[in-house]
Structure 1
Amino acid sequence: MEKVVFVGAGSMAEAVIAGICKQGTVRPSNIFVTNRADEERLQLLKSTYGISLVSTDKTELRTADLVVLATKPKDIYTVMEQISPLLNKQAVILSVLAGVSIDTIESGLGKHAIARSMPNTSAAIGKSATGVAFNCSTSPNEKQEILELLSSIGIVAEVEEDDLHAVTALSGSGPAYIYYLAEALETAAIRAGIEQSIARDLIIQTIEGAACMLRQTQEEPSLLRKNVTSPGGTTEAGLRALTSGGFHEAVFSCIDQAEKRSRELGSNTVKKSTSSS
């Protein structure tokens, strides 16, 4: 992809921009970004990553190889109405919007190769876990280019579009769950008398080490857990408290509610499209 235009300049757009700039996937000067009104935000991205800004007449969209939809889902119809007349027919569309279907994008932008993806904010450091689905207009070469771009910001898995709701709940929102866990561990450590800076370092290394063990050993999580758990020991006592506190049920509910919300967002965009047509 020679020329990439981001439509939207929020946290997800920045994470992907940071990742592809760091990996050298696209030259920063060939990355353009626009949003509705926040000029200060655009200037910050330009100064931080050395990217280019879209001109007021948005002529860059006419020659874009890849257009990344990174607006708020609620704004997608307004955005598509604005950019649709400017797109060239060969432009590939990559969406990073939660809940917005390929059908919705096709209805707003016409016939294009479209990839609907769900990265996460760890894209900024090349550690995203991304799910992606493609429409039938996407050629093998276009699909490969998208997979290579997304691979430059982490791992990528091609899935059925309907499964992206679960992917959004699991890995799209997943970093927030890990940060929430880290918050709780840190608070508990401080209550136990450990200095915050020391607790933070221990927690980060513990999470990182456990993740590396999962990847490098390829063992089942349950086996790795059992290997740490001595009968009658401290780990067993801690796990017993998690179990009695409904740990598994809370995780199941977390993923379930996040997936339902993703489906609601998609349903809301369809309803909006129907009511405005």
Structure 2
Amino acid sequence: MSQLTQTSIASLQICFYGAGSMAEAIARGIINKELIKANRISMLNRQNADRLTELNERYGVQTILQGKENESYLQEADIIFLAMKPKDAADAIAGIKAFISPNQLIISVIAGLSIQSIERLLGGHSAVVRAMPNTSSTIGLGATGISYSDRVSAQQTLLTEAIFSSVGINAVVDESLQQAVTGVSGSGPAYVYYFMESMIESAIKLGFSEAAAKELVVQTVLGAAEMVRHTGEEPAELRRKVTSPNGTTQAAIELMQANDFAGTIEKGINRSAERAGELGAAIERSISE
């Protein structure tokens, strides 16, 4: 990051409209990387005061409980993150239209919601970014797909990528790929957790204590991921290296193949991407009604 960009970001006001797990993950990453001070970040929701209290006490971010109205935080923000649930998005975004100005950058992390829909809800004059991060952003290991509207300036592009780089890696993609990003990396951590759950349960059934099973599985998954990153080799090649002919690993892999393990993963990813499209279509219908 250039010194100019770093200085520019540090002086910004950022507002998260929606205070769920994704908003928290991004805010926490930004704060932990000391990109922006916590008191320059506001987090808003419609009615959950307990959640706002929790976020303020945990990170030092600003909320309506610190004395300002939601409208003030929105008007003062340089960057507004749209992070509400998809089912609430159309009404919530339309509801803040009066407080948005053309010089603000709007970054949406709402699954399935298109740039065109956001522009339509805000009146067509906003610079809009569509992004799909994942919750690993919380620890600086996120993966984010980013798409830009035509109104996003070169400086706003730099700011956006600097923010998401502070919480992991990012890739600029054509918006047509955003549903696929949701299916692969957006939902991806949950697939890995589900796999780990199954491994832990299997280890316990084989006689390990719960603590020992978890420790073995976590280290195994961590080591496998680091092997791919450290060696630069393809996962398939690393798998072949540890799969001796007629050995224990081959026996397990053959059983998984016979039960269409790869096909199940593919179907799951495709279904996640498809669901993102369904959520977007539902929002489109609600806008048109």
CA distance in 1, matches of 2:166, 2:236: 31
What's 1:86 paired with? 99
Q: Please tell me whether residue 20 in structure 1 is matched to residue 1 in structure 2.
A: no
Q: CA deviation at 1:194?
A: 1.2
Structure 1 spans left out of the alignment, 5+ residues: none
Aligned partners of 2:127 and 2:150 also within 8 Å: yes
Q: 2:76 is aligned with what amino acid?
A: T
Q: 1:21 is aligned with what amino acid?
A: I
Among residues 250, 261, 267, which one is paired with 1:247 in the alignment?
A: 261
What's 1:100 paired with? 113
Q: Deviations over 1:139-161 (max 9, x none)?
A: 11110110000000001000011
Q: CA deviation at 1:57?
A: 5.0
What's 1:6 paired with? 16
What's 2:181 paired with? 167
What's 2:87 paired with? 74
What's 1:155 paired with? 169
CA distance in 2, matches of 1:162, 1:117: 12
Q: Please tell me whether residue 42 in structure 1 is matched to residue 52 in structure 2.
A: yes
Q: Deviations over 1:160-185 (max 9, x none)?
A: 11101011011100111011001000
Aligned partners of 1:64 and 1:88 also within 8 Å: no
Q: CA deviation at 1:88?
A: 2.4
Among residues 80, 98, 115, which one is paired with 2:129 in the alignment?
A: 115
CA distance in 2, matches of 1:76, 1:57: 16
Q: Following superposition, which runs of at least 4 residues in structure 1 exceed 6 angstroms of deviation?
A: none
Q: Please tell me whether residue 142 in structure 1 is matched to residue 152 in structure 2.
A: no
Q: CA deviation at 1:82?
A: 1.8
Q: 2:102 is aligned with what amino acid?
A: K
CA distance in 1, matches of 2:91, 2:121: 9
RMSD: 1.0
Instruction: From the superposition, tell whether residues 263 and 57 of structure 1 become closer, same or farther in structure 2 (CA, over 3 Å).
Output: closer
Q: How many residues align?
A: 275
Length-normalised TM-score, structure 1: 0.97
Aligned partners of 1:63 and 1:88 also within 8 Å: no
Q: Please tell me whether residue 202 in structure 1 is matched to residue 216 in structure 2.
A: yes
